[in-house]
């Protein structure tokens, strides 16, 4: 060993030991902190399935590949980061002796070729990601303000990186690129020394010729120094993680595996559809035994979050995919799902010493108490307008590559505000009071539930125990009381009747499913309504249910099972499409003019029903798609109980979607949700396009039947 090798090896091994020690300590500290979160016993079981899901999403990059180009680049960096570890191991041999290599494979041609190709791909990929980030910098993508902003502000650019800590990303990209260059440099020196065959190093060989004048000893020392640089740069990355525990863009390389493993659905389905139940002591709340004095409802302080919530916060990479898809952020509201999570993460690590101290005091028992005053998140960390801007559309959860459950976090915070503090928008009070007293958010007389059916020329049967019906038609509050939605109810009933489908309705026995109550945060009221409905449905023996409202479909089909109501629930477009395919309904008239279709969030993203509505429309019309469709469909603005709230901040969400629909040139906007129908109709009118019709698919299908009948009468 020469002087260069002795000095370089001493520094490299000492630095490695320090970095490993600090990184391990930081990792254990993070684990200790996350375990201080409230229990969540719903994440247990199905270990084999969870492992498969984790491997599929990480190795297969299934979530990242939703963004194909960036996803492929990240995939290459992912494998490069982990599979080039042997190259780092080889650097330790090279700082001791530049002619040494890994045992067995160190000088094996096929391995050298594989390592070279992977190194080059990693370099190209990280450079591509650097360019993407550079081009999409917030300052280069400014947007004008949209309406009135709250104290929490609104977006200043269209970049998904707005609000991200850019220096961290650039540092990591520079680190990976430097490691790639160091590996390539070492290989180039080895080719120049004739230590490796040129065929195994096709790229390095292109540069090795320029080193023909370098001496043998100089090249050997260059290998040692470059290998030392590789070691220092590599372990500096881990040292940075140890010093900055909130550096999610770095820590996600460790925590993402666990966050994906513990996602709500073990089979890999995104955490949408059913709302996460409110937990008390790690299990779904039982309001008959729950004590709000000792068991606060929802989340008020950082320590109230479950350990999975704390793991979510620690895993966020600040990539901004959630932000770029969020309807609130896109219309100038103060909500950015990314910033919500990063603000909570920063608060978590600010409070970490106090949380750990409190845990130690609790373990010691006796009279030891936590002397630290707990900070209420709402108003101190998160602006209330941030939470009330959310439509629970699920676009953030759908897009997150590491399966962070943003909507669950927002619902838990809302639950505490609503049930513990009675702190919610004033206009929501009317909706909640109507639900409690009348069983519907409009406050209409429950005895008028069947008035929608009065204009029909046939009698709609009422469901009874032992009744002869195949489908229970869940009309819903909108379908029963809203004049526009009543037309959809009549269209569906007529189509089912004419197709010979045996169906019945509950009539006055039907009450609100509780969707709006649950998503505004009033879990107790939701459970009261849900239990009443489940009892009624079970009494009449409902097995198959058809619903025109995706919110009703989602609640009955995905949430009632938790309280004893297991039903097969279909959307009316699914059933009508089946009837068309079976020849029981025959659309014969082509729709005139251009038509576009809006995917309701709770039908599409939450319940993955994309094809049946399009197939049904395709049987009598040609559909012109909007730019944002299916999984990336843009919300109408009504979800999350926002149907009943004012929208004073930013641009109205329904106007944004209406503008997109009108821009297609379509004169007809087909919908499959009464909330979407109301919101888009108002949005189109606000845009001054009274000539554009917003109408439910069932009504369009019913028109084809009416025209056929008119032609048949005329022919006779």
CA distance 350 to 267: 35
Average pLDDT over residues 446-460: 95
Q: Look up tokens 């004033």; give the residue.
A: 426
What integer best gives the mean pLDDT of the chain? 92
247-285 tens-digit pLDDT: 999 999 999 999 999 999 999 999 999 999 999 989 998
Residue 679 has pLDDT above 90, yes or no: yes
Structure tokens at 615: 């197939």
Q: Order across the sheet with 471-474: list the strands.
A: 503-504, 471-474, 544-547, 568-571
Residue 335 has pLDDT above 60, yes or no: yes
Q: Specify the pLDDT at position 45.
A: 87
CA distance 49 to 178: 38
The span from the first CA to the last CA of the chain, in angstroms, equals 106
Q: Provide DSSP, 189-232.
A: HHHHTT-S-GGG-TTHHHHHGGGTTS-HHHHHHHHHHHHHHHHH
Q: Specify the pLDDT at position 225.
A: 94
Q: Specify the pLDDT at position 249.
A: 94
CA distance 516 to 558: 15
Helices in 35-108 by DSSP H: which ranges?
A: 47-59, 68-83, 85-96
Q: How confident is the model at residue 715 (pLDDT cuts 50, 70, 90)?
A: low
| Pairing relationship of beta strands 471-474 and 544-547 according to DSSP bridges | parallel
Q: Specify the pLDDT at position 598.
A: 98
Q: Specify the pLDDT at position 345.
A: 97
Residue 217's CB is within 10 A of a number of other CB atoms, namely 11
Residues ≥6 apart with Cβ < 8 Å to 503: 461, 469, 470, 471, 472, 473, 493, 496, 497, 546
- Higher-pLDDT residue of 215, 423: 423
Structure tokens at 261: 């493993």
Q: Provide DSSP, 546-590.
A: EES-HHHHHIIIIIGGGGT---EEEEHHHHHHHHHHTTSS---SP
Residues ≥6 apart with Cβ < 8 Å to 181: 123
Residues ≥6 apart with Cβ < 8 Å to 586: 580, 708
CA distance 622 to 140: 39
Q: Could you tell me if 580 and 619 are in contact, meaning their C-beta atoms sit under 8 angstroms apart?
A: yes
Residue 528 has pLDDT above 60, yes or no: yes
CA distance 696 to 435: 26
Q: How confident is the model at residue 711 (pLDDT cuts 50, 70, 90)?
A: low
Average pLDDT over residues 161-177: 94
Q: In whole angstroms, what separates CA 665 from the centre of its chain?
A: 31
CA distance 711 to 716: 9
CA distance 222 to 5: 10
Residues ≥6 apart with Cβ < 8 Å to 285: 277, 278, 279, 297, 523
CA distances from 345 to 61, 166, 315, 354, 468 (A): 25, 17, 9, 15, 56
618-639 tens-digit pLDDT: 999 999 999 999 999 999 999 9
CA distance 91 to 227: 5
Helix (H, G, I), strand (E, B) or coil at 400: coil
Residue 152 has pLDDT above 90, yes or no: no
Q: Specify the pLDDT at position 713.
A: 63
706: closest CA among 620, 630, 601?
620
7-64 tens-digit pLDDT: 998 999 999 999 999 999 999 999 999 999 999 999 988 999 999 999 999 999 998 8
Q: In whole angstroms, what separates CA 691 from the centre of its chain?
A: 36
Q: How confident is the model at residue 712 (pLDDT cuts 50, 70, 90)?
A: low
Residue 178 has pLDDT above 60, yes or no: yes
Q: Specify the pLDDT at position 280.
A: 92
Q: Specify the pLDDT at position 656.
A: 95
Task: Give per-residue burial for 255-289: e unless 16+ CB within 10 Å, then b.
Answer: bbbbbbbbbbbbebebbbbbbbbbbbeeeebeeee
What 8-state DSSP symbol labels residue 591?
A: P
Q: For the purposes of burial, counting CB atoms within 10 Å of the CB of 89, is it exposed (0-12), middle (13-18) or buried (19 or more)?
A: exposed
Task: Output the pTM of the full model.
Answer: 0.93
Residue 365 has pLDDT above 80, yes or no: no
96-136 tens-digit pLDDT: 888 887 787 777 888 889 889 999 999 999 999 999 999 99
Q: Look up tokens 């609130």; give the residue.
A: 328
675: closest CA among 622, 701, 639?
639
Q: Specify the pLDDT at position 369.
A: 56
290-308 tens-digit pLDDT: 888 788 899 999 999 999 9
């Amino acid at each position: 060993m020469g002087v260069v090798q002795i000095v370089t090896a001493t520094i490299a091994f000492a630095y490695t030991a320090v970095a490993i020690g600090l990184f391990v300590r930081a990792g254990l500290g993070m684990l200790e902190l996350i375990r201080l979160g409230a229990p969540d016993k719903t994440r247990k079981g199905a270990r084999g399935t969870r492992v498969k899901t984790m491997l599929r999403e990480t190795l297969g990059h299934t979530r990242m590949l939703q963004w194909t180009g960036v996803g492929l680049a990240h995939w290459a960096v992912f494998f490069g980061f982990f599979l080039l570890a042997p190259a780092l191991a080889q650097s330790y041999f090279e700082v001791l002796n530049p002619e040494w290599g890994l045992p067995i494979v160190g000088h094996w041609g096929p391995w050298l070729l594989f390592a070279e190709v992977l190194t080059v791909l990693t370099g190209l990929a990280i450079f591509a990601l650097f360019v993407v980030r550079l081009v999409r910098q917030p300052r280069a993508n400014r947007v004008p303000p949209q309406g009135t902003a709250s104290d929490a502000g609104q977006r200043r650019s269209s970049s998904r990186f707005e609000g991200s800590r850019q220096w961290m990303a650039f540092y990591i990209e520079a680190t990976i690129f430097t490691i790639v260059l160091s590996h390539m440099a070492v290989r180039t020196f080895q080719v120049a020394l004739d230590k490796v065959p040129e065929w195994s190093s096709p790229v390095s060989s292109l540069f090795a010729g320029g080193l023909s004048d370098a001496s043998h000893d100089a090249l050997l020392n260059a290998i040692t120094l470059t290998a030392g640089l590789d070691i220092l740069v590599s372990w500096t990355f881990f040292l940075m993680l140890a010093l900055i525990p909130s550096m999610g863009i770095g820590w996600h390389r460790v925590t993402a595996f666990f966050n994906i493993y513990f996602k709500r659905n073990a089979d890999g389905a995104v955490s949408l559809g059913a709302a996460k139940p409110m937990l008390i002591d790690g299990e779904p709340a039982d309001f008959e035994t729950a004590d709000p004095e000792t068991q606060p409802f929802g989340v008020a302080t950082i320590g109230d979050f479950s350990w999975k919530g704390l793991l979510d916060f620690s895993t966020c990479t600040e990539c901004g995919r959630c932000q770029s898809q969020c309807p609130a952020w896109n219309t100038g509201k103060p909500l950015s799902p990314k910033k919500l999570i990063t603000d909570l993460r920063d608060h978590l690590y600010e409070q970490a010493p106090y949380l750990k101290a409190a845990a130690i005091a609790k373990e010691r028992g006796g009279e030891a108490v936590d002397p630290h005053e707990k900070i209420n998140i709402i108003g101190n960390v998160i602006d209330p307008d941030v939470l009330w801007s959310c439509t629970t559309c699920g676009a953030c959860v759908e897009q997150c590559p590491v399966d962070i459950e943003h909507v669950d976090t927002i619902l838990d915070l809302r639950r505490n505000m609503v049930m513990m503090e009675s702190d919610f928008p004033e206009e929501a009070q009317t909706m909640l009071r109507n639900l409690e007293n009348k069983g519907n958010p409009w406050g209409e007389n429950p005895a008028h539930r069947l008035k929608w059916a009065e204009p029909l020329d046939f009698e709609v049967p009422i469901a009874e125990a032992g009744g002869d019906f195949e489908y229970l038609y869940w009309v819903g509050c909108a379908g029963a009381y809203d004049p526009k939605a009543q037309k959809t109810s009549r269209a569906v009933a007529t189509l089912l009747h004419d197709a010979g489908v045996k169906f019945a309705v509950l009539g006055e026995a039907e009450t609100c499913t509780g969707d709006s109550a649950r998503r505004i945060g009033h879990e107790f009221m939701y459970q009261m309504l849900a239990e009443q409905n489940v009892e009624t449905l079970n009494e009449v023996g409902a097995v198959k249910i058809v619903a025109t409202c995706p919110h009703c479909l989602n609640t009955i089909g995905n949430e009632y099972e938790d309280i004893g109501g297991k039903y097969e629930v279909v959307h009316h477009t699914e059933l009508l499409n089946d009837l068309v395919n079976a020849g029981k309904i025959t659309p014969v008239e082509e729709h005139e003019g251009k038509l576009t279709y809006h995917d309701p969030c709770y039908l599409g993203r939450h319940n993955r029903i994309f094809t049946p509505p399009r197939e049904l429309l395709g049987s009598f019309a040609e559909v012109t798609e909007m730019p944002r469709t299916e999984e990336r469909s843009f919300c109408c603005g009504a979800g999350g109980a926002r149907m009943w709230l004012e929208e004073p901040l930013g641009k109205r969400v329904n106007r944004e979607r209406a503008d997109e629909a009108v821009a297609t040139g379509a004169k007809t906007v087909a919908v499959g949700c009464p909330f979407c129908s109301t919101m888009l109709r108002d949005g189109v009118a606000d845009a001054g396009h009274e000539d554009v019709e917003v109408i439910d698919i069932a009504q369009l299908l019913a028109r084809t039947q009416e025209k056929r009948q008119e032609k048949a009468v005329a022919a006779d």
